Amino acid sequence: MRIILPEKVTFLLERLERHGFEGYAVGGCVRDSILGREPSDWDITTSASPRQVKEIFPKTFDTGIQHGTITVLLEKEGFEVTTYRVDGEYEDGRHPREVRFTSQLLEDLKRRDFTINAMAYNETKGLVDAFGGVEDLKGGILRCVGKAEERFEEDALRMMRAVRFCAQLGFSMEEKTARAICRLAPSLERISAERIQVELVKLLESPHPDWIRQAWEYGITAVILPEFDRLMEQDQNNAHHVYSVGEHTLETLRNVRSDKILRLAMLFHDMGKPSIATVDEQGIYHFRGHAARSEVLAKQIMKRLKFDNETLTKVCRLVQNHSLYPETTPEGVRRAVCQVGEELFPLFLEVKRADILGQNPAVWEQKLAYLDQVRQIYEEILKRGDCLSLKGLAVTGRDLIADGVHPGKGMGELLELLLDEVLKDPSRNTREQLLELGRKLRR
Ligand code: ATP
Ligand code: MG
């Protein structure tokens, strides 16, 4: 098997060899190359010690020197070069107590998580595949290196990685690996929120975000996202739906494009339903006010998983507004854009579409036609350049002060009133008209 290495990687490996060391491209880049996918980065493994790596290459910085990783800079591009290592005993299902360096490539490959991630390649030796990685790539199977239970006991995060790789690559989980996950999922409790967040996002962004259903079956979500388990248990017998809330959520995940904000918004959009469900005499389910409740939960969960504020704010805003139905008039749509936010409105339309496609097919045609109408009106509004926010008003607070308005609390209210007028009738958005209107409103 031949892999085409980038020039800089070849240079790096040759240079290591010329100094008497071994060097290989390893892990994800080898896996992705064999699959014909573009590797996201090229990791190098070597018999040289971190100190020796630093002596060989003029520009380096210490990335994780205690784990043997040095970043080598080649014309501003960084490559992580890690000394062959063996992870010592794991004390807590998270961190090896110590790492030991070794001169054996095989030892290093053995500590890696999955067969498809445990291959190395260089031009001298070709592909080193000691655990059947190529075979598993061909068969589309995710399998641990060594005994699955032991590997998950060492590092519980590997269970989420296993699910994530299946979702990214469209693979199936090897039987013993799956059984080990079912047994050991509770130990994910010890993994930090940050590491869980990274894996959850990668899973959601993958071509098969609905693998979160599998994570639920394995008992993973029970630990990292118990709110999702409530969704899977929640029926919703009414005219709009043919699935449980959980199955509906999965369907909407499949129907929205791969984007972190959109996928998170779909994951959370109905999360509030279980806690506010009511059933009437006819056995019909109602979820009044669920969007607001979903937003509360989304915020709580995203804080718990240590999401950044920007992501949290955007996702919450989409969740909160997902059951907004703008009136199909220019004013109605302008008001909706103002409420959702100019930047988020295109995503809002995508959320609505995915939500509809996750509902009873009998309602699609009518609801999609409605959404098309909203989109058309929205596009006309954009083309005309209608004012859609305070930023777009033809007067600013400063203009109003110059016109005799007291700066302070009343100012904000006055601007809101002016915006309200302009949303109704964009032709009023001129300086003269707004100053005049401002004077009238003050009287
Ligand atoms: P991607 O970068 O596309 O997410 P990757 O396979 O490169 O996938 P990384 O997290 O970048 O994943 O790790 C690089 C390599 O290090 C992996 O291919 C694997 O060999 C090894 N590895 C990473 N995390 C673990 C882990 N928790 N346990 C064992 N080996 C791991
Ligand atoms: Mg990687």
The model's pLDDT over 260-280, given as tens digits with 9 standing for 90+, comes to: 999 999 999 999 998 888 888
Confidence of residue 384 (pLDDT cuts 50, 70, 90): very high
Average pLDDT, the chain: 94
Has residue 296 got a pLDDT over 70?
yes
Closest atom of ligand 1 to 39 CA is 3
Work out which ligand 1 atom sits closest to the CA atom of 161. Answer: 27
Average pLDDT rounded to a whole number, residues 9-30: 98
The mean pLDDT of 407-430, rounded to a whole number, is 93
Separation of 303 CA from ligand 1 center, angstroms?
26
- 360 within 8 A of 239, measured Cβ to Cβ: yes
Could you give the CA distance from residue 394 to residue 372 in angstroms, rounded to a whole number? 30
Percent of the chain whose predicted confidence (pLDDT) is above 70: 98
Place of tokens 């031949």: 2
Question: pLDDT band at 244, cuts 50/70/90?
Answer: confident
Look at residues 124, 101, 95, 100 and name the one whose alpha carbon lies nearest to residue 46: 101
For residue 28, the CA-to-ligand 1 centroid distance in Å is 6
Please state the atom number of ligand 1 nearest to the C-alpha of residue 29. Answer: 7
Over 90: is that where the pLDDT of 242 sits? no
Q: Which of 126-135, 239-248, 329-338 has the lowest mean pLDDT?
A: 239-248
For residue 151, how many other CB atoms are within 10 A of its CB? 22
Position 54 scores a pLDDT of 96
Least Cα distance to 99 among 154, 140, 146 occurs for 154
CA atoms within 13 A on the CB side of 313: 6
Q: Binning pLDDT at 50, 70 and 90, where does residue 167 land?
A: very high
pLDDT of amino acid 241:
74
CA of 225 to the centre of ligand 2 (A): 25
Domain segments of the chain: what residues?
7-130, 140-224, 225-370, 390-442
Distance CA 299, CA 142 (A): 33
CA distance 188 to 181: 10
CATH of domain 7-130: 3.30.460.10
140-224 belongs to CATH 1.10.110.30: yes
Higher pLDDT pick, 209 / 97 = 209
What's the pLDDT score for residue 65?
85
Whether the per-residue pLDDT at 292 is higher than 90: the answer is yes
* C-beta 82 within 6 A of ligand 1: no
CB 38 less than 6 A from any atom of ligand 1 = no
What backbone torsions phi and psi does residue 285 show, to the nearest 5 degrees? -85, 140
Per-residue pLDDT, averaged over 79-104, amounts to: 81
What pLDDT shows up at residue 97?
Answer: 66
User: Does the Cβ of 158 fall within 6 Å of ligand 1?
Assistant: yes
| pLDDT higher than 70, residue 89 | no
Pocket of ligand 1 contains residue 427 by CB under 6 Å: no
- pLDDT at res. 173: 98
Task: Judge whether residue 91 has pLDDT over 80.
Answer: no
Would you say the CB of residue 113 lies under 6 angstroms from ligand 1? yes
Cα 118 to middle of ligand 1, angstroms: 9
Look at residue 442 and tell me whether its pLDDT is greater than 90. Answer: no
- Tell me, in angstroms, the distance from the centre of ligand 1 to residue 27's CA: 6
Q: Is the domain 225-370 a CATH 1.10.3210 member?
A: yes
Hey, is 415 helix, strand or coil? helix
Whether the pLDDT of residue 389 is over 80: the answer is yes
